[in-house]
Every structure is written in structure tokens, then in C-alpha cells.
Amino acid sequence: MSAVEHQGTVLGELRQAELPVVAANRRRGPAAVKNASVKLLGAVVVTILLVFMVGPLVWLMLRAFSGLWQFPQFLPSTWTVQWWRSVFDDKNLAHSIKLSFEFAPVVTILSAVICLPAAYAFSRFNFPGRRVLLISLFATNAFPKIGLYVSMAGVFYTLNLMGTFMGVVIVQLIGTIVFMTWIPTAAFSAIPRSLEEAARDVGAGPLRVFFRVTFPLAAPGILVAMILSFLAAFDEAQGTFLVGIPNYITMPTEMYTLVLNYPEQAAAVFSILLAIPSVILMSFARRHVMGGRLAEGFQIR
Amino acid sequence: MVLPPVAVVAVFIGFPVGTAIAYTLGKVGGPNSTIALIAQRQHVAHHGVTTAAYREVLGNPHVRTDLYATIWVTLVAVACVVVLSWAIALYLRLSDSWIARVVSALSVIPLFIPVVIASYAILTFYAATGFMRTLAYHVGWHSFPTLGYTLTAVVIGLVWVNVPFGVLMMSSGLNSVPNALIEAARDSGASLPRTVRSVLFPMNVIPTVIVATFTGIYCLGSFTVPYLTGPSAPNLLGVSMQQFFGSFNQPQQAEVMAMIVFVLAVGIGTIYVWANVRAAKRASSTS
């Protein structure tokens, strides 16, 4: 714990030394404007957020516990937990939950192994075509997924990947590459080279410099990238459905069936279950995501 | 070191996109032979290439309506995301009250929620028996429209999903505006709107462009939100692609639609790249 805090202060001091402006902004105080229009803006923003962002989720929660609920009542007239029982008793659903938790970690680790060295290279070496390559990774976002999966099926059939574990891993992997490259690239770039050079000067080898200096400082950015990748893999439904069927039906894939075929309450229960891992993971990473790690990753330099 | 991710992208995205382009132009041999075996209503080029598939798809009035719906929904959703995330980020920059802390927590909630669930929650919220209609009924507005399964619901869903990214980007941009600049403007008598227009806005252009372009590209290719919350027809091209491939067994037509969306997305992507390169040049010339 103290080591982590220590790194935090080191990074904090670096930032202050390098960018006094940003550091000064950390202490928000002085520029906070006391003004009626700011208060009005706040009221509007809070209302929109509560109704528009939070409302649907609360409504869904209520539905998961509702027995009889008639329009136009704000709350169900009878409450029940029978939908929870029916979801837990369904073997298919339990199996899909287990599968989801198998795929997502495998995909995240594989993605990290493939992308992190590249992220380091992108940030440290200015080779020809560097920017073009960074942007070309972004093409993974620009081509619509369905079109991609349709023609990817051809490649998968040739490589015998259809309906296999590896096939699903690959389909989920391609959705994580942008996060796993861009965000850590920005995280590595934020570390001043002088720090690494200083460690070299006092006799540390390149590996030791990387693992004792570079990696710990970039760790929060890498953590954000890993969590976003985990969630991307965990949420991926379309490609998993096309490639994994009939052997590998994960939670989000099952969700489509549920929404279309089951009583609304069962789908609501399943939704809540599916959201739990995301909520837990994101609450761990919240501070780093909010701290601009994500934002930095999306500005190509 | 750069090779592994580039290779993965080249093999599993670059190559399929390349074969898809060939397929839409009537090339059914090689890597396309498997899919060509099962496809219906295929346009085959015996010599060179043929644009027959493009002509058929673009000549289909349903597809054209879907295309217009896609563009329209994208434009509206992007405008809403930009305005909403600007408003939230601006409030967070100018206020340090406890309400601002609550707002900053609330605005990133969608990051925590899988898109499938968000879509489903939004669908039930705006359904005939949903909260919005219930609320409207109690305040005496009995004819409040049912928004579930409409393009409006699709816009709402897409905005919901994209606001956190917008807020994070805009906040990061606005936080890099020095306090001293804001105070100087205020001290010299600028009103708050004037300060926003002349100081904060010019310094937050790049994040605004990034939010607009990423949201635009996301909306153009989106599937889950329009599939679950949207109407049967017209809906976004992402859904029609799925239908043409899955239900009508016409992969070539689906790929043509993917190309249309891709061209639009590349157009938007160019704006993003141009803005970034310009900003990078400026940064290197000043330092």
C-alpha cells in the first residue's frame, strides 16, 4: 500500500515539475464560479442525469422484483423473488455465466501480451509509419462489426476456427486492441525519459529499469486498458454468437434470446446479474478512468 | 514489438475487409468461395468487376430509407452527446459543490453497464407501460407518445451509451484550461457566457472533435441499441445488415451496406485524424 502511495506522490511531483498549469488546476478552488447561471446549469444537468441516465436502471431493478404491476402505477402492487429463482435454476443460463467468466480473462491477458509491447514501442521509438499504424488500428472501429464478421467467417472456416474456443477468443480480442494499444501508449508517453535515464545512470539494466521504473508508473493506465478490454470482451455478443454457436453461448449472447423469448422480469434479473462484474471492476478503476487516463489515450501524438 | 497487434489486425480485419471489398464487386473465388456457395441473389463478375450489387442495394427503396435513418439518427445523437457532455463538463469545471461530485459520478454510470442491458432498460423505461408514460399520465398528459421501438428510442439509447466518454474527454480538455485565464476574463468584466465562448470553447476544440467523431462512428455501425430499441423498419443499417445476412441469406448485399457505412465512417475518421495532426503540429511548433 505504501509503495503504491509512494509511486503516486512521485508521479504527482513529476507532473507538478513538468506542467505547473495542470498541477495548479488540481486544486479546483479559485476558478469555481459562484454564479446564478452555474447553479441553474447544475440543476438542469442533475435533472437530466437523474431521469435520463439513472431512471431506466432503477425502473429495470423494480421490474426484477415485481409480481403484479399495472399501468399507470409507479410501483408494483405485489413483490416476488420467483424470477431470481427461475434464472438460477435454469442450467443454460448458469452455464453461459460460467463461459463468460472463462472467455473475458483469457481475452484480456492475451490482448495485454500482444498489445503492451507494441504500446511501449509506439511511445518510445519514433519509427517511420508510427502514426499511420496507430491510426490503422483505429480502423478496427470504423468498419461495421457485422460486415466484418460476415467476411471473417470465410477466414474462420478456412482456419477451422468456427465453433471453437479459440475462434471466440479471436473475435472478442479484435474488439480490445484499440484500448489495449492506445491507452497504454499514452501512459508510457507520460513518463519522462529522464527518469529512465537516471535509473540507467545509477547502473540499472534495461529490464530492471522497465520493471522498477517504467511499468509501475504506467500501471494505472494499463489497468484502465485491461478493465476496458475485459468489459469489451465480456459484453461482446454479435461476433461471439456468429462464431461460437452452438458450443459457446456467453451471457450477453443469451441476453438477446432472453429479451425476445422470456418474461420481462426474467430478463431484468439476468440484466442485473450481467451488470455486476462490470460495476465491480469499474468501481475499482473509476479514479483512474476519471483522472484522464482514458482521455489521454484518444489523442494521437 | 509493434508487429503482433498489427498482424492480428491485418489477418483478422484487414484481410477480411479486403476480401469483402472483392466480394461486393462480384469476385466469388478464393476466400469468398465458402460464402458464395450458400448466398442467394448473388452478383458475379465473370470478367473484371461488377457494380451490380451496389446498384441493387442502393436502388432498394427500403435500404435507402435505412441509410437516411442511419445518417439522421447519427447526426441527432452526435449533436445531443456533444451538447450534453459539454454542459456536464462545463458544470464540473465551474462548480466545486458536492452536487458537482454527484454529477461527476452519475455521468459515468453507463460505462459500468453492458450495452445490451442499457438498451433493454431504456426500452422498458420508454415503453407503453414505462416510467415516462406513467409520469405523463399522472400529470394529466394522457397522450404521451410511446417511444419504445421508435428511432427516438434509438437516439436516446445511443446518447445514453456515449455520454460518459464525452464527459471524460470534455472534462479532461476543460481541466487543462488554466484557472488564471478564466479569472482574468472574469476580472476584466466578461460575463459567464462570454468567458465560455471566448476562453473555454477555443481551448476545448480538439476534445469536442474527438467526441463528435467517435460518437459518429459508433452510431453509424451500431447494432445492439437499434436492434433492441428500434422499430422493425426503417431502422439503422447495422440492423439491416444483420437481416440481409441472417434472415435473407444475402451476404453480398449485407457487405455492400457494410461498405457504405465504412465509407461514411472513414469520412468522419478523416476529420478526427486531421484535427489531431493539426493539433500535434501546432504543439510541436510552439514548444
Q: Which residues of A216-252 are buried (b: 16+ CB within 10 A; e: fewer)?
A: bbbebbbbbbbbbbbbbbbbbbbbbbbbbeeebbbbb
CA–CA–CA angle B107, B206, B17 (5° rounding): 90
pLDDT value for B68: 94
Contact between residue B119 and residue B228 where contact means Cβ atoms under 8 Å apart? yes
B130 touches A at CB < 8 Å: yes
Label residue A292 by pLDDT band (50, 70, 90). Answer: low
Best mutation target among A150, A172, A242 (most B Cβ atoms within 10 Å) is: A150
Same domain? For A57 and A95 the reply is no
A264, exposed or middle or buried, with CB in 10 Å at 0-12, 13-18, 19+?
buried
Query: Which of B226, B251, B256 shows the shortest CA–CA distance to B238?
Result: B226
User: Which chain A residue is nearest to residue B114, measuring alpha carbons?
Assistant: A235
Classify residue A15: in a domain, yes or no: yes
Least CB–CB distance from A271: residue in B107, B117, B156: B117
Q: Report the distance separating Cα A294 and Cα B133, nearest Å.
A: 37
Instruction: Please tell me if residue B221 touches chain A, with a CB cutoff of 8 Å.
Output: yes
d(CA B271, CA B234): 28
Nearest to A45 among B103, B117, B283 (CB): B103
**How high does pLDDT run on average in chain B?**
87
Express as a percent the part of chain A with pLDDT over 70.
86
Give me the helix-helix angle, B61-94 and B98-106, nearest 10°. 150
A109 and B CB contact within 8 Å = no
pLDDT of residue A79: 87
Q: Which whole number is the average pLDDT over A149-164? A: 81
pLDDT tens column, A260-286:
777 788 888 888 887 887 788 777 777
> pLDDT band at residue A15, thresholds of 50, 70 and 90?
very low
Q: Is A108 among the domain residues?
A: yes
Q: Which domains does chain B have, with CATH numbers?
A: 1-50 (no CATH), 62-286 (1.10.3720.10)
Q: Does B86 touch chain A (CB under 8 A)?
A: no
Tell me if chain B has a CB within 8 Å of the CB of A275.
Answer: yes
Provide, as residue numbers in chain A, all residues whose Cβ is less than 8 Å from the Cβ of B108.
286, 289-290
Q: Which of A64, A81, A98 is the last residue of a domain?
A: A64
CA distances from A275 to A175, A228, B244 (A): 19, 14, 31
Q: Which cell numbers in the block locate residue B127?
A: 415503453
Q: What percent of chain A has pLDDT over 90?
A: 10
pLDDT of A110 reads 95
Please tell me whether residues A44 and A99 are part of one structural domain: no
Label residue A228 by pLDDT band (50, 70, 90): confident
Burial track A274-294 (b if 16+ CB lie within 10 A, e otherwise): bbebbeebbeebbebbbbbbb
| Residue in B with minimal Cα distance to A145 | B221
Element (H, E) at B69: helix B61-94
Range of A29's domain? 1-64
Number of separate domains in chain A: 2
A-B Cβ pairs (cutoff 8 Å, strict): 320
Q: Is the model more confident about A4 or about A33? A: A33
Confidence of residue A301 (pLDDT cuts 50, 70, 90): low
Task: State whether A156 and A59 are in the same domain.
Answer: no
Cell numbers of A130, please?
508510427
A149 & A95 share domain: yes
Distance CA A214, CA A221 (A): 12
Based on the fold, state whether residues A144 and A236 are members of the same structural domain.
yes
Nearest CB partner across the interface for B179, out of A30, A135, A237 = A30
Q: Which residues on A lie below 8 Å from B116 (Cβ)?
A: 235, 237, 252, 255-256, 259, 271, 274
**pLDDT for residue B155:** 95
Residue A77 falls within a domain, yes or no? Answer: no
CA of A55: which chain B residue's CA is closest? B125
Considering the domain architecture, whether residues A110 and A259 belong to the same structural domain is answered as yes
All residues of chain B having their beta carbon less than 8 Å from the beta carbon of residue A150 are 20, 35, 241, 245, 251, 254-255, 258
Q: Is B173 on the interface with A (CB under 8 A)?
A: yes
Query: Does one domain contain both A151 and A51?
Result: no
Q: Does B255 contact chain A (CB < 8 Å)?
A: yes
Q: Is A150 on the interface with B (CB under 8 A)?
A: yes
Report the residue from A53, A71, A295 with minimal CB separation from B172. A295
With cut-offs at 50, 70 and 90, classify the pLDDT of residue A30.
low
- pLDDT of amino acid B286: 62
Give the span between the Cα atoms of B225 and B123, in whole angstroms: 9
A21 pLDDT above the threshold of 60: no
Q: Rounded CA gap, B51 and B23, in Å?
A: 11
Do A282 and A177 belong to one domain? yes
Who contacts A99 (Cβ-Cβ below 8 Å, separation ≥6)?
Answer: A248, A249, A250, A251
Residue A241's identity, in one-letter code, is: F
Which residues 183-222 of A have a C-beta within 8 angstroms of B? none
Distance of residue B20 Cα from the nearest chain A Cα, in angstroms: 6
Give A64-117 pLDDT, tens digit per residue.
888 888 888 888 888 888 888 888 888 887 888 889 889 999 999 999 999 998
Across the range A47-51, mean pLDDT stands at 87
Query: What is the spatial distance between Cα B22 and Cα B261, in angstroms, rounded to a whole number?
Result: 16
Residue A58, number of CB atoms within 10 A of its CB? 13
Judgement on whether residues A234 and A99 belong to the same structural domain of the protein: yes
| Count of C-beta atoms within a 10 Å radius of residue B231 | 16
Interface membership of B165 toward A (CB under 8 Å): yes
* 3-state DSSP of B141-195: CCCCCCCCCCHHHHHHHHHHHHHHHHHHHHHHHHHCCCHHHHHHHHHCCCCHHHH
Tens-digit pLDDT profile for residues B229-273: 988 888 898 888 888 888 888 888 988 998 999 899 888 888 888
**Selected residue of B116, B119, B287 to mutate for chain A interface (largest A Cβ count, 10 A):** B116
- A295–B265 C-beta distance less than 8 A: no
CATH number of A257's domain: 1.10.3720.10
Quote the mean pLDDT of chain A. Answer: 79
Distance (Å, whole) CA A214 – CA A269: 43
Q: Are residues A184 and A258 in the same domain?
A: yes
* pTM confidence score: 0.87
Is A213 within 8 Å of A194 (Cβ atoms)? no
Query: Is A159 domain-assigned?
Result: yes
Tell me, yes or no, if A68 comes closer than 8 A to chain B by beta carbon. no
Kindly state whether residue A84 falls inside one of the protein's structural domains: no
Peptide bond into A246 cis (omega under 30): yes
Q: Does B226 touch chain A (CB under 8 A)?
A: no
pLDDT single digits (tens) A112-143:
999 998 888 888 888 887 878 877 777 777 77
Window 2-41 of A: residues touching B by CB (8 A cutoff) are: 21-22, 24-25, 28-33, 35, 37-38, 41
**How many Å lie between the alpha carbon of A115 and the closest alpha carbon of chain B?**
6
Could you tell me if B85 lies within 8 Å of chain A, comparing CB atoms?
no
**What's the pLDDT at B69?**
93
Instruction: Please identify every stretch of chain B with a pLDDT value under 50, giving residue numbers as ranges.
Output: none
A205 and A281 together in one domain: yes
Question: Which of B13, B165, B262 lies at the smallest CB-CB distance from A174?
Answer: B13
Residue owning grid cell 441469406: B249
Helix A145-158 × helix A165-173 angle, to 10°: 140
> In this structure, are A163 and A285 located in the same domain?
yes
Q: How many Cβ atoms from other residues are within 10 Å of residue B81's Cβ? A: 27
B2 SS3 class: coil
Using the Cβ of B80 and the Cβ atoms of chain A, whether some distance falls under 8 Å is answered with no
Question: Does residue A72 have a cis peptide bond before it, meaning omega lies within 30 degrees of 0?
Answer: yes
Assess whether pLDDT exceeds 60 at residue A203: yes
